[in-house]
Structure 1
Amino acid sequence: MRQITRSLVLLGPLLILLALAYILPFLGILRWSVTLPEPGLGQYRAALSDPLILSVFWRTLRICAVVTVLSVSAGYAVALLWVWGGPVARLLTELCIFIPFWISVLTRAFGWLSILSNRGLVNSWLEGAGLIAEPLALVRNEFGVIVGMTHFLIPFAVFPIASAMRSVDERVLMAARGMGAGRARIFWQVFLPMTLPGVLGAALLVFVFSIGFFVTPAILGGGRSVMVAELIYLRIFQSPDWGLAAAVSVILMIAIAGFLALLLRKMTPGDAR
């Protein structure tokens, strides 16, 4: 009993902070969704029946799914080099992982805009090399949004994957090699299955982060690839339609919570660790 009381005392300030920072604002948004502009569930019916809003939801899920696959795939390669590479490779990999955390998301988005725009580095180089006759449309579309989001989220995918790789017992790999398995077979049939919990954790982390992206899609999408966070912003500050924006926010929160609950239900205790 004393241990429980001590734990509650230690966790009390954190729980109060979380309640003030997250629960109370969410309850306020929930109240807006059923009271503005008039009481009822009309905003939810509007959100779930409006073709424009449904298209934004579908675009958000599609972009987030693609970004998750690309980020986890690239993160796996980076983590493999970080964990199993030589000393120099590990040092360079660590620099590539940690330096991006010192650069704001706004700076990264404008950096990609200068690289991918019609007069950016990529199109200028391709035109100078005679490979293209006119600039490629690399920004103000889903491609630019996916590139910018993937670049930002790769480091977040590296950490859970690297943690799973470090927990792999090298004796298992040596046993597989001793039984005559080649490197490719060891990777696909032994190493990759043992690191799947880290891959699953990375995918979950990246997907949840990507759903709430605002700055990168707004800059690189140029208003042509609107995602849910940008839609909520537009409904609050430009329409304005606070009730509908609140309803969309609540629907998004419920969808994420349902996705997490379903995923955690399918996970084994080992995967959860």
Structure 2
Amino acid sequence: MNGSPITRIGTGWLLVLPFLALVVTLFLGPIVNILWLSVTDPEPGLGNYAALVTSDNLTGILWTTIRICVITTVFSVIFGYSIAYAMVHVAQGSRNRMLSLLLVSFWISVLVRTFSWLMLLGRKGLVNETLVNIGIIVEPIEFMRNELGVLIGMVHYMIPYAVLPLLASMQNIDGRVLSASRSLGATGNQTFWRVYLPLTKPGLVAASLLVFILSLGFYVTPAILGGGKVLMVAEYISVQILVTLRWGTAAMLAALMLFGVLALLFLMSRFMKLSTIFGGAKA
């Protein structure tokens, strides 16, 4: 006798349970500690959260973060939509090569990408030197130490993340629907705007939320390309922990980001299975 299914399941859980408890403890422990610090340091209460309303400095940092994340999301999704659309409408061999190049970009460190942009966009970088040499500009353009440089670096990094959910959404569109639209007299533009684009709405929403969520936690790119003049939440949290030692404020901002990300992930799951974003099963 091999025992009943319930017995076998129970035995399996007994083997897994210690490791599951360890993972849960190591994962939830720090989160609980952060939430606890946000309401106890420097004194018990909701003073840290009240500072979101009373402190102009915190309000400015939050609005800067949201503004940069929104702009990054808009441009990343626009470029990502174009790339995904091209990938869907090319031959299978070309699509595979494009997908391979897209996946290779995930292996390049954000630090390497950021320093690459630093070399390209600096006052004596390749871009400014080229523009000056061909006579388009007289003085170098200030790409660095401002929001422009931060946005260029963030959009470049986020485009592949926008492509994946859009590609998954476009591949699920039945080509017969588009053929039916054209057979009824619709032009190519009408078919795209009235049929194709609405059908990709779940992918658009998922891509926008994914890029926005990932942009919220950007630290390296704003710190290097912003040169300390573009302060976002992640960098401010680092300053509060390592420099000013205001752990309560840092914990409050971390908790705020955590709840915001969870809410956005829930919203994204209403439009697309989260597993499909990274190539999981679509069923």
Quick check: TM above 0.5?
yes
- Take 1:242 and 1:95, find their aligned partners in 2: how far apart are those partners? 43
- TM-superposed CA distance for 1:93, in Å, is 2.0
> Counterpart of 1:132?
137
- Take 1:27 and 1:36, find their aligned partners in 2: how far apart are those partners? 14
Alignment of 1:148-163 (within 5 A): 148-163=153-168
- Take 1:228 and 1:257, find their aligned partners in 2: how far apart are those partners? 17
- TM-superposed CA distance for 1:87, in Å, is 4.7
Question: Does residue 1:208 correspond to 2:213, yes or no?
Answer: yes
> Counterpart of 2:81?
76
Given candidates 178, 187, 194, the residue that maps to 1:182 is 187
> Counterpart of 1:143?
148
- TM-superposed CA distance for 1:53, in Å, is 0.9
> Counterpart of 1:86?
91
What is the aligned residue count? 267
Classify the secondary structure of the residue corresponding to 1:40: coil
Cα RMSD (Å) of the superposition? 2.5
- Take 2:75 and 2:250, find their aligned partners in 1: how far apart are those partners? 30
Residue-by-residue CA offset, 1:189-239 (whole Å, 9 max, x unaligned) = 111111111111111111111101111111111111110000000010011
User: Quick check: which has more Rg, 1 or 2?
Assistant: 2
Q: Which runs of 5+ in 1 are unaligned?
A: none
What TM-score comes out, normalization by structure 1 length? Answer: 0.89
Residue-by-residue CA offset, 1:76-118 (whole Å, 9 max, x unaligned) = 1111111111356424422431221121010001001111111
What TM-score comes out, normalization by structure 2 length? Answer: 0.86
Alignment of 1:32-43 (within 5 A): 32-43=37-48
Tell me the amino acid that sits aligned with residue 141 of structure 1: N
Classify the secondary structure of the residue corresponding to 1:189: helix
- TM-superposed CA distance for 1:43, in Å, is 2.0
CA contact (8 A) 2:35 2:255 kept: yes
Given candidates 166, 170, 173, the residue that maps to 1:168 is 173
CA contact (8 A) 2:213 2:264 kept: no
Classify the secondary structure of the residue corresponding to 2:60: helix
Q: Which runs of 5+ in 2 are unaligned?
A: 274-283
Percent of counterpart pairs with the same letter? 42
